Structure 1
C-alpha cells in the first residue's frame, strides 16, 4: 500500500495530466469534435431538400408537362447534384420565403436579392443580375428618366430589392414616392398598370421580358439604379455546408455555360410577336375566343389535344374568324382546303363547329401518321408544321436534315432544313419539290407563343381578364399597398 505522500503525488500527477489534456483539446479546432449534423448532412441523411419559393413564371409554376420555372429547374438540378429528392412550398410571397428559411430551412429560391444585411440568413453566390426597370402605361407621355415620374402612381413589390433601389434614389430625389406591397406579384403589378390602377411600376428587366407579351398595354421606360444580384437564401444557424455546396454547384453550371443557357431559354424570348401583334391577340382573346371556347374544348376531348393548343392554331390560321378566306380558296376558322374538308367529312367550312372539329381531327390524323421514332414535343411541332405545309414537304425536310448530319426526328433540325425547300439546289433533289419552307417555321413558332399566352391566362384562372374587366378605381389599392411618401 503506497504511503500517503505517494498517493498525494499520484493524485497531483493525475490532475496535471487532465489539465494538460484539456489544454491540448483547447488548441484543437472545435469542428473536429462537434457533431457532423450540419444542414447538408441532415439533408443527405433524410434524403430530401426542402425549397421555399413563389408561384410565378420565373420561379415555379405547373406547366403542361409538370413543374417548371427557371429557379425550379435550377433547384431540381441541385437536388440531383446532391442525390436527394426535392420538396417545395410555393405558397409564399417574397417576405414569407425569408421567414420560412429562418424558421424551417432548408433553402429559399424566389428571385431573392442578395442582401447580407438580412438577419439569420446567408446567401449563395450571385446567380443572375437583377436590373430594376421602370415600366408605365401605354398612352402616358414617355417616361425616360426620374423627372418623368412626377405625379405618377408607382407600385413595386416590397422585399424584392426594387424597393431598396427606390429608397436609394429617394435619398437623392426626395420628391420620389411610391406604393409597395409584399402581397402582389409582377403580373398583378403589370395588370394594375395596364388597367389604370397604377401609372407605373418598378420590376426587374427579365421579369418584364417574360411578361411583356401578356400585357401589351405596358411600355418599357428606363433602367433604375445599379443591378442587384439574385441568390439563394439559407439559414445562418445551420452551418455553411449547404451554402458552400450550392456555390460549388452554381460555379460549375456557370463554367459549363449551362447557367447562361438556362437563363436565355427562360428569359431570352424572341420578339417575333411584337407589341402590336400581342395587342391584337389580346383584343381578339377578349372579343372572340369566348364564342368558340366550348367548341375547342369539345374538339380537344375528342382528339386528345389541349384545347388551348387548338385555339392557338385556330388563331394563327384565321384570327378566330369563321368566315376567313384565303386567295387560294382555303376557308373557315381552321382554314381547311376543300380536299381536306371532304376527307374529314366537313360539309360547311364556314360553320365554326364543323371547322374546329375537322381541323382538330386533321391535326390528330397527321400526328398519328408520323413515324413512331418522332416523340414528345418534336412530334407535335412536326404535325403542326405539316398542317401548314403538308406531310410530303415535311418528309422532304426530314431527309434534308439527315443529309446535313442532323436528326430527322428532332424538330430543331427539321426546322433548320425547312427553309431550304425554297432553294432550287435543295428542292430539286426532293420528291415534292419547292415549298415556302420558311412559313411553317414561323407558323409553329407563333402557335407556341399564342399557346403560351393562353396557358398563362388559364393558369392564372382568368385573373388577367378579370382585372381588366373591372372599371378603373374599383380595385382598392389602398388596402393592398403601403404608401412610401416623398421626404420633402
Structure 2
C-alpha cells in the first residue's frame, strides 16, 4: 500500500512538472519580450523641427533622440515610421503598425481613456500666431466677433476640445492636415491670417520666419507624453515609464531639452532679419573659403561660418575696441600662432580661425560627447580655455556635472563675481559673454543648416502617384525663403 502511494505521489509530481512546463511553453510572451525577441522597437512619429527630421540619412529631433536612447536601453534596433499628424500616429498605433507613438502627443482625459500614456516628459502651450503687420487679437472671442478664421491641425483642435478649462467660441476653423511647418509657413506667407500651434514649434519657427508673432496662449499648459496601445499587457509601458524616470533623474532629459531649445532664448527680430540679408549678400563671397578651411580642419563649414558671423557679420574690415580684426576677429597673438600675417584678408582670417577653433576643440576632454564638446569649444574660443576650466571647477565644487554644458553655462556668469573669481586660477571674466556667444552661434548654425539643406524635411509621407506600390515619398519642405536668399544657394 505504501509502495503504491509513493508511485502515485511520484506520478502526480511528474504530471505537475509537465503541466508547469507546458504552461510556460504555451504562455503568450509579453509585449516587452516580443520586442526584445524580434530585436527591434517600432516607433511612429511625425515630421517637424522638434520631433523628427532626416538629414543625410541620420535622424534628428527631440522625439527621435528620445526614441534612439530608449532603443539603446532595450538593446534593440529602432524602426521609425512617419505619420502626417498626431491623430494619424495614434491610428497607426491602434492598427498595430507601431509599438509606441512618440509624436508630441498631448495628454487629455479622452486619450488617457483610449491609450496607455506615459507620464509627461515636457509641457508646452498652444499659441495663436499671426504675421507682423496683421491685426493682433487679444482673445479668441474678439476674433470670433470680427469673423476671423484660424488655421489649425485637426489633432490640435481635437486636443483643445477635449481639454479642461478651454472654451472655444464659434470660429471659422480652417482645418489643415499639413505639417505644423506648412501651417506656420502659410501664416508667414499671408495665405491664412492666424493659426494655433504649440509654443515649442513656434519658438523654433520664429528664427526661420522672423515676421511671425504670438498673440496669446490658448488654454493652459499642454503635457506631452508617449502613447502605447491599451490592448497590450503593459510590460513595454512600464519599461518606457522607467526609462523616462531614469533620464529625468540623471539629467539626460534636461540636456536634450537644452540641446533643442536652450540656444533660442529671447527672439531677436531685427537680428534675424539682418542675418538673412547677410546670408544673401555677404556669405556667397566667402562660402568657398569657409568650406575649404572647414574641410582642412575637420569642421562643418556652416559652424565655421556661424562663428564668423557672430564675430564680425562676415565683415573682413571689422575692428573691435580691443584691437581684434577681420572676419574671425583674431588677436595679433592668435594670428601669429596660426601663421596668419594679414588679419583683414578674409581668406587668411577664415583659415586662421578654423585652425584655432580646431585646436581649441582638440583640448576639450575626449570623454565629453558631441554636441556638448563643440559648445564647450565655442565658449573657450570666446572666453579662453582657462576661464572655461575655472567655471568647470566651480561647477564640480557645487556638486554638478562639469562635463555638462547645461550645468557649466549656469556657472560661467559667476566668474564676474568676486566671491567666486578670487578663488580661481585665471581670475575675473565676463562669464555671461561666452554663454550668449554659444547661444548665438548655435542659432546661426541651425539657420544655416536649414537654409543650405532643405532636404532635412524630405521624409516619406505622400504616396508617389507614379508608383503602384513601395514607400511613401514627399517633396523636400525645408525653409521657404525670399528669392534673394534662395538664389544665393
Question: Structure 1-normalised TM-score?
Answer: 0.73
Distance change >3 Å, CA 295–CA 162, structure 1 → 2: farther
Q: Please tell me the root mean square deviation across aligned C-alpha atoms, in Å.
A: 4.2
**Cα deviation, residue 318, structure 1:** 0.9
Contact 2:450 2:479 in 1 (8 A): no
**2:143 pairs with one of 127, 139, 148:** 148
Aligned residues: 435
CA distance in 2, matches of 1:255, 1:419: 25
**2:444 pairs with one of 450, 453, 463:** 450
**Cα deviation, residue 389, structure 1:** 2.9
Tell me if 1:381 matches 2:375. yes
Contact 2:414 2:431 in 1 (8 A): yes
Give deviations 1:121-160, integer Å, cap 9, x for gaps.
63424535564321111121222212236355532223x2
Moved more, 395-404 or 194-203: 395-404
The equivalent residue for 1:26 is none
CA distance in 1, matches of 2:446, 2:325: 26
Contact 1:325 1:335 in 2 (8 A): yes
CA distance in 2, matches of 1:408, 1:122: 40
Matching of residues 49-68 of structure 1 within 5 Å: 49-62=41-54, 67-68=59-60
SS in 1 for 2:197: strand
Tell me if 1:104 matches 2:97. yes
Distance change >3 Å, CA 295–CA 88, structure 1 → 2: same
**1:350 pairs with one of 336, 341, 344:** 344
Matching of residues 308-319 of structure 1 within 5 Å: 308-319=302-313
Give deviations 1:267-306, integer Å, cap 9, x for gaps.
5666245444334334433443333323222211111111
Moved more, 303-312 or 359-368: 359-368
Distance change >3 Å, CA 229–CA 123, structure 1 → 2: farther
Matching of residues 109-124 of structure 1 within 5 Å: 109-113=102-106, 122-124=115-117
The equivalent residue for 1:48 is 40
**1:161 pairs with one of 156, 163, 168:** 156
Distance change >3 Å, CA 285–CA 396, structure 1 → 2: same
Distance change >3 Å, CA 192–CA 292, structure 1 → 2: farther
Moved more, 376-385 or 43-52: 376-385
The equivalent residue for 1:466 is 480
Distance change >3 Å, CA 218–CA 105, structure 1 → 2: same
CA distance in 2, matches of 1:398, 1:260: 21
CA distance in 2, matches of 1:166, 1:279: 37
The equivalent residue for 1:25 is none
**Cα deviation, residue 35, structure 1:** 4.9
CA distance in 2, matches of 1:392, 1:258: 26
**2:61 pairs with one of 51, 69, 93:** 69
CA distance in 2, matches of 1:165, 1:401: 42
The equivalent residue for 1:280 is 274
CA distance in 2, matches of 1:192, 1:234: 33
Question: Structure 2-normalised TM-score?
Answer: 0.73
Unaligned 5+ segments in structure 2 are 1-22, 457-476, 485-489
SS in 2 for 1:294: helix
CA distance in 1, matches of 2:397, 2:32: 50
The equivalent residue for 1:334 is 328
**2:218 pairs with one of 224, 229, 245:** 224
Distance change >3 Å, CA 229–CA 367, structure 1 → 2: closer
Distance change >3 Å, CA 335–CA 152, structure 1 → 2: farther
Contact 1:53 1:89 in 2 (8 A): yes
Tell me if 1:436 matches 2:430. yes
SS in 2 for 1:322: coil
CA distance in 1, matches of 2:281, 2:454: 19
**Cα deviation, residue 50, structure 1:** 0.9
The equivalent residue for 2:5 is none
Contact 1:121 1:234 in 2 (8 A): no
Contact 1:273 1:446 in 2 (8 A): no
SS in 1 for 2:282: helix
The equivalent residue for 1:180 is 175
CA distance in 2, matches of 1:85, 1:165: 35
Give deviations 1:298-338, integer Å, cap 9, x for gaps.
21111111112111111110122222111222221111223
**Cα deviation, residue 261, structure 1:** 3.8
**2:238 pairs with one of 227, 237, 245:** 245
Distance change >3 Å, CA 180–CA 291, structure 1 → 2: farther
